[in-house]
Amino acid sequence: MIGAWLAEMGGPLLSGPPSYLRSTETETEMNQHVAAELADPIRIQPAGPDDVVRLVDLKRRFGATAALDGVSLTVRKGEILGIIGRSGAGKSTLIRCLNGLERPDSGQVLIEGREISRLGERDLQPLRRRIGMVFQHFNLLSAKTVEDNVALPLKIEGLPRAERLARAAELLQLVGLSEKAKAYPASLSGGQKQRVGIARALAARPALLLSDEATSALDPETTRSILALLKDINARLGLTILLITHEMEVIRSIADRVAVIDAGRIVEEGAVWQVFANPKSEITRSLLGGIRPQLPPEIASRLLPGEGAETILRIDVAGEAARRPLLSELSARVPGPFRLVHGGIDHVQQQPVGTLFVAIPGSDALHLAAVIAFLKDRGARTEVLGHVAGSV
């Protein structure tokens, strides 16, 4: 920066920036980069040409708390990546780093291969036009009509009014709000406001759409329609979407991949159905709690570790294993009664993901071992939860 300033000053004595300023700067940057690559195995991924976003060891502190504590993440072209976490996990800070609304203390933010975290405001402005953003509270301008709100990014870009309005009309058509073009946002419902917000975010034909809890202020039905709209835009325009949410339902409905963030770190990452089928971290399990079958509390409270009239098993199946006639094969191969207590099969990304709670009467250890061996052989994760005294 000093070098650039000196260069700008020109003058006979300072015909260029001193060479030591330039070389040391780049060298330290390179060294930091190399050191970072070596320090963490997650980061040694080849940077694909299809990566729209690449975050490398992002750190950001607010006072004593680390909002981001070394986040590395990649968003591929055309995918919907969902980032989920509890409030205060660092989601908002993370998404705001992607368009420079927030600056990381260290680490890199690469958008379409370009490092942006150290760019000045002026250089960020054209880049932000390549990134659309949708907000939880819509953030529509109350003094502007719907079409003027949608056209605002184009006004900022410097397009003539006629062109702006034509594009706004196109986008309002896309989100199904053509008849509201001349209305003011205050007269719209929450769902309609968010549709306007989405249209506005798409106005400048962005390469990436950021969604900051876009459905958190909406009722379930409206949430579904907004998510369907985002999914549709992703499919039709091939637009890359990064969304943050605290609701697993959102991830389940539209995301291709999910990253779970907790205390500023990505604790789990993978295809949505795989994370649903086999959550590795405690926080993921807890976030999934609301939408995956759980052992009913009245049974859970009666579980004993030792022996009892019935043994309660938890069986998790997903993908291929869940497509087979698991239970009928079980009763054919390992004869003996069992009954289904609770559970179900869900379909996530067209993949079956099931959790079954089964009660097996009697305390025959051999029989139990045979059942478990069979289930494991069939690719089902099986866990003995405990025993209950009487029948449940």
Partner 1 sequence: MSPVLFELLLRSIWETVLMTGASGLISLVFGLPLGLALVATDRGGIAESLWANRILGAIINGFRSVPFIILLVALIPVTRLIVGTSIGTWAAIVPLSIAATPYYARIAEVSLREVDHGLIEAALAMGGNRWTIIREVLVPEALPGIVAGFTVTLVTLVGASAMAGAIGAGGLGDLAIRYGYQRFETSVMVAVVVVLIVLVCGIQWLGDRLVARLDHRG
Residues that bind partner 1 (CB under 8 A): 99, 101, 121-122, 124-129, 131, 133, 135, 137, 139-144, 152-153, 155-157, 184-187, 200, 204, 210
User: What is the side-by-side order of every strand in the sheet holding 339-348?
Assistant: 339-348, 351-361, 310-318, 381-388
C-beta separation of 344 from 317 below 8 A: no
Name the residue nearer to partner 1 (CB basis): 129 or 387: 129
Q: Cα–Cα distance between 133 and 209 in angstroms, integer?
A: 6
3-state secondary structure of 209: strand
Min CB(94)–partner 1 separation in Å: 15
- By beta-carbon proximity to partner 1, the closer residue of 122 and 236 is 122
Beta strand extents in the chain (DSSP E only): 51-62, 65-76, 80-84, 106-111, 114-115, 131-135, 208-212, 240-245, 257-262, 265-271, 310-318, 339-348, 351-361, 381-388
CB of 125 to partner 1, least distance (A): 4
Contact (CB, 8 A) for 90 and 67: yes
Can you tell me the distance from the alpha carbon of 127 to that of 62, in angstroms, rounded to the nearest whole number? 25
Under a CB-based contact definition with an 8 Å cutoff, are residues 207 and 112 in contact? yes
Number of Cβ within 10 Å of residue 162's Cβ equals 8
Cβ 355 to partner 1 shortest distance, Å: 39
Residue 43 Cβ vs partner 1, minimum distance, rounded to whole Å: 27
Work out how close the CB of 331 gets to partner 1 at its nearest, in angstroms, rounded to a whole number: 58
- State the nearest-atom distance from the C-beta of 185 to partner 1, in Å: 8
Of residues 33 and 155, the one with the C-beta less far from partner 1: 155
- The angle that helices 2-9 and 19-39 make with each other, rounded to 10 degrees, is 160
Burial tier of 135 (Cβ tally within 10 Å: 0-12, 13-18, 19+): middle
* Encoded tokens for 390: 């009487």
Comparing CB distances to partner 1, the nearer of 91 and 257 is 91
Q: How far is the CB of 140 from partner 1 (least distance, A)?
A: 8
* Whole-number Å distance between alpha carbons of 14 and 12: 6
Q: CB-wise, 133 or 175, nearer to partner 1?
A: 133
Compute the distance between CA of residue 383 and CA of residue 249 in angstroms, rounded to an integer.
Answer: 26
Residue 248: CB minimum distance to partner 1, A: 25
φ, ψ of residue 52 in degrees (nearest 5):
-85, -40
Whole-number CA gyration radius for the chain: 26
**Nearest CB to partner 1, comparing residues 12 and 158:** 158
Write down the least CB distance from residue 109 to partner 1, Å. 15
